[in-house]
Structure 1
């Protein structure tokens, strides 16, 4: 991922303060699902999620 491009499973664009990469919960980091590209991470195997507490 680059710039402000977000996959459907991302909570924020890459590089947003308070976020980090996590393994995609749908494909478990493989990037593929049922013989095709995972629709949640778009094949990257990772999603951007909020980290930390409040």
Structure 2
């Protein structure tokens, strides 16, 4: 199992996010896996690194 801090340090964002916070064309959304709780059955959500939030692309083209 990978350490969540390692994922953040390498990519600057949680594994379930599309980009780093503040990236143009993105916005914060509730994690679809833990539904914003940050954990599932007491275990930190690996999709959002326990924050309950992910950064996703918004808009269209």
TM-score, length of structure 1 as denominator length: 0.88
TM-score, length of structure 2 as denominator length: 0.79
Asked if 1:11 corresponds to 2:21, the answer is no
Runs of 4+ residues over 6 Å off in structure 1: none
- From 32, 53, 56, give the equivalent of 1:46: 53
Larger radius of gyration: 2
Distance 1:16 1:30 in 2: 24
Q: How many angstroms does 1:5 deviate by?
A: 1.6
CA-atom RMSD in angstroms: 1.4
Say which structure is richer in helix: 2
Distance 1:40 1:47 in 2: 8
**Unaligned stretches of 5+ in structure 1?**
none
